[in-house]
Chain A
Amino acid sequence: MRSRYGLLSSLTAVVLFILLETCAILLVARGGVVQRFKVMGAVRSVESWFWERTGRIRYYFNFRTENDRLTAENLQLRQQLSRFAAVQRALDSMEVVVEPEFTYFGATVVRNSVDRQHNFLVLDRGSDDGVEAGMGVVTSRGVVGIVSAVSRHYSYVISLLNTEQSVSAKLAGSGAFGPMTWTGVSPKGAVLREIPVHIQTAPGDTVYSSGFSTIYPPDIPLGTIEKSTIRQGSSQELTVSLLEDFRSLHNVYIVKNNRRQELEELYEQAQ
């Protein structure tokens, strides 16, 4: 009787083991970022509150660097503004109304991870501010990630420092483009693939966003080339040093593509 009970117990233990491991693998396979964000809404609210406050303390100690960076960015924006003002005047005289392709929302990072294989950020802008899932997040020094889920006051962003993320990037001179992904090791390292071998590159050349996706605007500087390696004789793989330091991210811009729906409808019609 006892041995039969022991056998039954061992069998149920094996079944339970298989069941739990299957559950765990299914959870991993599904990723579940969005679901987790929704299910854990209440926990996130408390955590976000805490992260916001600890982030403020860290921010206080980074004031100097952040100010220098904002000053440089302001200068660049003012120069752009003056150029656009001239164009605007010319357009006004022709009575043409130009709708901007991208709209920007300023946001502050309240939570950021850089040391995992699947990194993420939490921003202090949510659906109340007009943020929607699928919008891009950028800075003047690169692409940061894609909004994956939003609550009323916060948004959850899958970082570019994520092994499943890639961004379409192009080379400054030639315009040759390919997917750029994070190396998974250093927060500053990325790899640009599928560049034809005949394209000449040199260390220090700048890599920009291509604008071929509906998420990120074109011509955002992403990084500089460190070295080039030929893969299987058919394409180059470029090691890129990212300009943006993800460890000290604080102010970012959420980007809305105002023509995204139109473009997606066009793609659907074409298929």
Chain B
Amino acid sequence: MNRLSNIFYCTLVFLLQLVLTDYVHLGPYVFLCLVPYLLINIPLSRSPHVVMLTAFAIGLGLDVLSDGVPGLNAFAAVLAAAPCKFLYRRLVNSDRQDKTEIPLPGEVGFLKYAKYLSAVTLVYMAAYVALDCISFRPVSFILIKFAASAAASIALALLLAIPRSNRP
């Protein structure tokens, strides 16, 4: 997949995220979030600086355009983007010679891809839910929201990723 089509695809996913945030309400416990999926679609060859700045822009863009609390998604996005490459090496391919730009389930294996996506999503959700709810919500609420949001977001991201990897 070339760079331009990846940018176009990520823009569509971002727009889908805006629609999800504004119009799909699944109750107080579920926050459907595709930002972790966007983060793992940033080419692995990019420097950590570019990855973190891109993550910050995506998060802040989402906060502002969907009338969220400014900084909430930006904080979680940067925190999840920083260890992306490390998580990829640990969970998908530790070979330093690996030239994969954007990992896809069809190329790296579905299970490895799911593990990588889950790890990034869990980091993101932990940061997001903690900053959004901690100190004024009971622990049970925070834990349920974290688990339900992470599970729903991972499932949705996998649904989006599978057809993409099957494309010629």
Contacts and interface: CB of A to CB of B under 8 A. Distances in A.
B79 interface: yes
B136 A115 contact: no
Contact of A28 (B26, B56, B75): B75
B137 A184 contact: yes
Contacts of A184: 28, 136-137, 141
Interface in B24-54: 25-28, 47-49, 52-53
B65 A43 contact: yes
A258 interface: no
Nearest to A114: B25
A190 to B, nearest CB: 14
A5 B28 CA distance: 47
Given A115-B25, A115-B27, A20 B71 contact: no
A41 B65 CA distance: 12
A16 B141 CA distance: 33
Contacts of A32: 70
Interface residues on B, range: 20 to 34
A28 B67 contact: no
Contacts of A21: 75, 78-79
Interface residues of A, number: 31
Interface in B66-83: 67-72, 74-75, 78-79, 82
Given A24-B59, A24-B78, A13 B49 contact: yes
Nearest to B48: A13
B15 interface: no
B28 A186 contact: yes
A88 B32 CA distance: 56
Give 3 nearest A-B pairs by CB, closest first: A27-B71, A24-B75, A28-B71
Given A16-B48, A24-B71, A184-B137, 13 more contacts: A9-B48, A13-B48, A17-B78, A23-B56, A24-B56, A24-B75, A29-B71, A115-B28, A117-B133, A118-B69, A163-B137, A184-B136, A184-B141
16 contacts: A9-B48, A12-B49, A13-B48, A16-B49, A23-B56, A23-B71, A25-B131, A27-B74, A28-B75, A113-B67, A116-B68, A118-B69, A163-B136, A184-B136, A184-B137, A184-B141
Interface of B: 22, 25-28, 47-49, 52-53, 56, 59-60, 63-65, 67-72, 74-75, 78-79, 82, 131-133, 136-137, 141
